[in-house]
Structure 1
Amino acid sequence: TVIHRLQQSGKAQVTNFAAALAVYPPATTVDLVERTSWSCPHGVERWRSACGCKVHTDRPSQQDWRAPLRFAVEWLAHEVHGIYDREGRDLPGGSRAFLEAAGATGPVRGGGDENTARLIEMERGVLRAMSSCGWFFDDIAGLEGRQVLRYAAHAISLAGAESARLEAGFIAQLGDARSNDPAAGSATDVFRSTFQPTPS
């Protein structure tokens, strides 16, 4: 890959934001205004309601699917966090501290059995399901909406005995939300066609 070749050449180093800040600490501070965005004059409504903001202003479309997708992902996150906290309560330092350490340092040492890896990956999946691009664009059946649904399905698939309950609850939260593409159908149809996590 290009990144691999650049690393081997010594001309570039792949890093993350935390590592870059450690080397180059900020010189000034800024104040962020909550519930605002650069791309939606309605604050953050683009990520939770049918505010009318869209990419393709020349195409008729609706964004009524945004609120059900937001409710579904937030419901799933609440449920997954609960499962993680219950099943991970005996992790070194406690479930939350262990998760933060896993995010800060990469692969976790000391407690890294298969179940721990499953729990961390389940949390990672549900956090990725909150990727803002899923709501930014014009349709739940688009690439970005499908990706959010894939992340949600991945988290659901790692929930063990809770997977079937989470899948049913997630689908119920999606409700009757519809794609702008009649061939794609409902948000539930898109979810099922994108990834079906419950084993048959």
Structure 2
Amino acid sequence: MSTATQRNRLELMDYGSNLDTWGDKLNRNFRNIDAALDGSLAVDLTAGGHVLVASDFVEDEARRRVLRTTGGGKLTIPAVEKVYYVLAQDPFSATDGTTTVQVPAGFSVLLAQPLSVHSSAKNTSVAVFAYPAAIGASHLSGLVLVAGTVPAVIPPGGYVDVKATAAAQVGNVRFAAGASARLVGSASGIVVMSETAGVTRV
């Protein structure tokens, strides 16, 4: 009889089992490993909260590495060792059923079992969402590039480094004069990461 691994619920096959079907099960494990390493999930918390679905062997929600959340409800995650990268449009709470932590808007890392949150807001940096998803030169009024040129679109994984010559706003992010930041493209919008004061979400 197959058993599941503790953290990502992959199938461990018994010796001599799954005759003529082990290849399909192995491929399913590879797909689940792929999701556990880099899979992302949009999670809507506006209706009060959401419990990540965790299922042995098959595709599920809790195995994904990156969570893109909206709304200020409660997110419930499995009480097993796991690292989640969270891109939160709004602050929310997270729980493993025993411990509850507050997650700020922006970029955070959730470490489960025991549950803790490590956010850019706890350091000196800020990570906030800016919209629209495609930001080009026309959206960067008041900002200058530190190096390079502004692309028509910042693709997912791409970035530009900018500095505000005067007070400016990009999407829902406000820059004080002199503030600098890195604009990183993502599938859901532009993540603004800053190591200086004067970058706030509005």
Bin the TM-score by the shorter chain: under 0.3
Structure number with higher helix proportion: 1
Structure number with higher strand proportion: 2
Q: Which has the higher contact order (CA 8 A, sep 6+)?
A: 1
What TM-score does the superposition give when structure 2 sets the normalisation length? 0.21
What TM-score does the superposition give when structure 1 sets the normalisation length? 0.21
